[in-house]
Chains A and B, each alone.
Chain A
Amino acid sequence: MSSTTETRTFRPSSGRGPLSWLGTTDHKRIGILYFWTTLAFFTLGGAESWAIRLQLAQAESSVISEEIYNQVFTMHGLTMVFLVVMPMSAAFFNYLIPLMIGARDVAFPRLNAFSYWVYLFGGIFLYSSFFLGGAPAGAWVGYAPLSTGVAQNMGFYAVGLQLLGVSSLAAAVNFIVTILNMRAPGMTFMRMPVFIWMSLVTNFLLLFAMPIIAVALFMLQFDTLFGAQFFQPATGGDPLLYQHLFWLFGHPEVYIMVLPAMGIVSEILPVGSRKPLFGYAAVVFAGAAIGFIGFGVWAHHMFTTSLGPVPRSAFALTTMFIAVPTGIKIFNWVFTMWGGKIRFTTPMLFSVGFVSMFTIGGLSGVTHAIVPHNAQQHDTYYVVAHFHYVLFGGALFGLIAGMYFWFPKVTGKLMNERLGKWHFWTWLLGFNLTFGPMHMSGLLGQPRRTAVLPAELGGSVELYNLLSTIGVGVLTVSALVFLANLLTSLRSGAPAGDDPWDARTLEWLTASPPAHHNFDTVPTVTERDEFWHRKYAESEDGSMVAVPSGASDGGADDDAEDEHIHMPDASLWPFLACLGLFPFAYGLVFVNPPVIVAGLLWFVIGLFGWIHEPLAEGDDDPVDADTAADHTH
C-alpha cells in the first residue's frame, strides 16, 4: 500500500496493538476512539448527576457542601455538552461521513487524529482541576463578572474550553472539506444522505460559533489573569457583553448537539419503516434553516436581563419562528413511518422515542418565547427539564439509536435485541421520571443551580425532587443494561452480515466491519438512497421488487475502478504534538510563562515533525502526488 521509504519505518503500522491506536489516522478507528472516550466521560457526568440528585433528593440536606455542589453541577454541564454529546456526534461524523459519501477517509486524516487528541487531553485537563485546587464552579455559562473572581476556579474552564474549541474547529474544517469535496462520483448535494446534510450544517455551525466563544473566553481570561476590564463594571465594562457572546455561540451550540441526532434519526426511520424519508428536501432545508436561524435567537437566553422591550420582542419572534422548521421535521418523520411496515428494532425504538421526547422539549421551548412568562420560568428547573428533553430526550436518544443501528457495521456483530428493548423502555421510563417532574418543581419556584433545596418550597417540590432522584436510579440501571449489551455483543454478538437492516445508504454496501480502505471500488452514485436502489427496482405499479443480484440497474456497473488505493499512513505526530498542550494549558492556568513557552515550543516542534513527514497518500502538492502515483505503478 505504501511506497516504502526509510523515513517511515519508525511509524506505527496500521496493525494492532496500543501504539497503532496512538498513531492511527483511520477515520473509523478515530471514530471508535471518540466513542469509548465519550462513554468514559458520560460515566463521569452521570456520577456528577448522582451527586446533584442525592443532594436535592431531600430538602435542606447536606450530602455535599455548597462548594462541592457548585463544582459538580458546573462540571456536569461542561461534561455533558463538551465531552459527551458533541464528541459523541464527532464519533459518528468520523465513522460515517467517509463511508456514507463513498470516500476512503476524511480530507485530512492526521488533522482528524489531532482533533481527537486535543479533545481527549482537553477533557483530562478539565478534570484534573478537581485535584488542583477545585473544579470550575461558575456554571457552564461562566457569566462574568462572577467567573472572573478567584473563588470560581474558572481558569480551567477558560483554557479547557479553548482547547476543546480548537478540537471542534479543526474537526469542523476537516468534515466540511470532506463532505464538500470528497463525495463519490454522482453524489450530488440532493443525493446526500440526510445525516450527511445535518453533519454539514452542524460543522458549519461549529465553524462560525466556535470563534465567538473563543473570543468570550479570551476576554474572560484576560480579565481574570491580566486585569483587563472587558466585563468589569468598576470601569464601565459590561457584563452583558459576555452573555451576548456566550449565547451567540451557545444557542447554535444547541443545534450543534441536536442536528446530528436528527440526521441519525432521519436515516433510521426510513430503514425501519422500509420507506424513503418523507419530504427529503423539506427535511434538509428545515435543517439548514434551523442552523441559519439558530444564530438569530441567542438573546432568548437573556430575556430577564436589562434587554429593552424592543430586542425582547424581536428575539421572541425569531424564537417562535425557529419552531416552524422544527415542526416540519417532526411531521416529516412521523409521515415517514405512516404507511410503512415498521420493524421495531432497538434503533427504531430509540428513533421513535427521539421524535416523541424531542417534541416535548420543542413545545416547552416555545413557551420560553412567551417573554412575560419566560421571566417566571427562566433559570428554574422548568428550563432544566426543557433542555434535558432536547439534549437527552433529543440528542442522546438519537445518538443511542445510532449506536444500535451502526454497531453491526462497526463490529460485524449484532447487538442483543432483548437487552436493547430492556434498555429502551427503562431508559424512557427513567428519563421521564427524572426530568418530567422538573417542569413542575420549576414552576413551583425551584431555581436551578441552587446547592440546597429550600424546605420552604413545600412538600410537592420535595416530592418532585425525590422522583427525579429515583429516576436517575432507573437511568443508571438502564445504562448498565446498555453497557452489558455493548460488551457482550462486542465479544459474542451474532454475525451481522453486511446489511442486517435492509438499509439504504452506501455504508451498508461494504463489508462489516469495513476494510481499512472502506470500498474496494468507489461506488458511482445515481440515486438518493443509492444502496436501496441497487437492491430494489420500482415496478410499473409503483411497488418495489428486489433486484436479482448481479442485475443491478443502479450505479454498480459504473463504479469507478480504482487500481491504486492510497491510504493515509499512521502518524504519531498529532499525538506527540498535542502532548505539548498540557504544559501550555497548565502554564496558562497557573500563569507560568516558561512552562507556557515550553509547551508551545513542544507543540510547534511537533507540528514541524508533522509537516516533514512524507506521505504515501499524496497529501502534498499535485505535482508531487502524480509523481508518487507514477512510482507505485
Chain B
Amino acid sequence: MAATTHDTTLRLDNRKLAMWTFLGSEFLFFGAFISAYLLYLQTTAGGPGVGIFDIPFTSISSFVLLMSSLTMVLAHSAHARGDLRRMRLWILATAGQGAVFLGGQVFEFTVFVKEGLVLTESPFASSFYVLTGFHSAHVFIGILLLLTLYAFSHTGKVQAHQDVKTEMIGLYWHFVDIIWVVIFTVVYLIPEIAVG
C-alpha cells in the first residue's frame, strides 16, 4: 500500500505512526529499568552507592545530549525546506554530540569501575549499569541511523523534501533525549540530593 498521507485513515504517515507506537513501547522498557533502579537505590551490598556520581560532569554530557535535540530539529527543518546541505551539517552535528555523550558515558563508567562499582558488585550497580547501558545502546543506534541518513542523502536514497525518514529518526532521537532527562533526574540528581 502506498504510505502516502492522503489515503490513510488518520491522515498521518504510516511510518510516523509506527514510530510513535514503537516509542510508546520503549517508554515501558525504560520505565521498568528505572523502577528496578529505584528499588535498588540503596541496595549497594557495602559497595559504592549514589555518592559516586559526579554530577557536574554528567550535567555537561547531559547538556550536550540535550543540545543535540536542537540540532536534530534544525536538521529536520532544513530537510523540510529542501536544504540538503544544511541538513547534512546538522545531522553530523547531532551525531557528533551523541558521540560526545557516549564518550562521556564511557569515561564515567571507567571511573566508576576504578572506584569499585562493577556490574557484579550489587543490585544497585547492576541496575545502574544495565539501565544507563541500554540507554547508551539506544544513543549508539541513533548515531548509526543518523550516519545512514547522512550517507543516503549523498547516494540519492534520501532526497530533498523527502523528510519523513529524517522526521522519524528525529522522533527517535528526541525520545532518547527525553529518556535521558528522566534518567539524569531520577538516577543522578534526586538520589544525590535525597540519599547521597
Contact = CB atoms under 8 A, between A and B. Distances in A.
A357 B43 CA distance: 47
Contacts of A621: 158-159, 161-165
B130 interface: yes
Given A211-B26, A624-B162, A105 B1 contact: yes
Given A104-B1, A105-B1, A173-B21, A181 B14 contact: yes
Interface in B111-127: 119-123, 125-127
Contacts of B32: 211-212, 215-216, 245, 248
Nearest to A238: B39
Contacts of B125: 229
Contacts of A624: 159, 162
A229 B24 contact: no
B25 A230 contact: no
A182 B9 CA distance: 6
A336 B134 CA distance: 50
Nearest to B125: A229
B119 A618 contact: no
B60 interface: no
Interface in B5-39: 5, 8-10, 12-14, 17-18, 21-22, 24-26, 28-29, 32-33, 36, 39
Contacts of A163: none
Nearest to A181: B8
Contact of B45 (A216, A236, A618, A620): A236
A622 B164 contact: yes
A190 B25 CA distance: 26
Contacts of A227: 119-120
A226 B4 CA distance: 46
A114 to B, nearest CB: 13
Nearest to B11: A181
Given A173-B22, A183-B9, A108 B4 contact: no
Interface in A209-235: 210-212, 214-216, 218-219, 222-223, 226-230, 232, 235
Which residue, B17, B18, B39, B127, has most C-beta atoms of chain A within 10 A?
B18
B195 to A, nearest CB: 15
A222 B126 contact: yes
A361 B125 CA distance: 43
Given A236-B43, A621-B165, A107 B29 contact: no
A181 B17 contact: yes
Contacts of A169: 22, 25
A621 B10 CA distance: 17
A622 B13 contact: yes
Contact of B122 (A172, A211, A235, A248): A235
A29 B127 CA distance: 43
Interface string B155-196: 001110111110000000000000000000000000000000
B123 A229 contact: yes
Nearest to A109: B1
A527 interface: no
A219 B24 contact: no
B21 to A, nearest CB: 5
Contacts of A105: 1
Interface in B60-109: none
A237 B28 contact: no
Interface string A248-259: 100000000000
Contact of B5 (A180, A183, A207, A622): A622
A230 B36 contact: yes
Nearest to A522: B7
A417 interface: no
Contact of A625 (B4, B134, B159): B4
Given A173-B21, A181-B10, A620-B162, A229 B26 contact: no
Given A173-B21, A229-B122, A618 B2 contact: yes
Interface string A239-251: 0010001001000
B122 A236 contact: yes
A173 B44 CA distance: 38
A237 B44 CA distance: 10
Contact of B4 (A172, A180, A187, A626): A626
Contacts of B119: 222, 226-228
B51 to A, nearest CB: 17
A618 B33 contact: no
A623 B159 CA distance: 9
Contacts of B21: 172-173, 176-177, 207
A568 interface: yes
Nearest to B13: A622
Interface of B: 1-5, 8-10, 12-14, 17-18, 21-22, 24-26, 28-29, 32-33, 36, 39-40, 43-45, 119-123, 125-127, 129-130, 134, 148, 157-159, 161-165
Given A173-B21, A226-B119, A228-B119, 4 more contacts: A107-B17, A227-B120, A228-B129, A618-B4
17 contacts: A172-B25, A177-B14, A180-B17, A181-B10, A219-B36, A223-B126, A230-B126, A238-B40, A238-B123, A608-B148, A612-B157, A620-B3, A621-B163, A621-B164, A622-B164, A623-B161, A624-B162
Q: Identify the 10 closest CB pairs spanning chains A and B, nearest first.
A: A621-B162, A211-B29, A235-B45, A228-B126, A215-B32, A227-B120, A236-B43, A618-B2, A181-B8, A237-B123
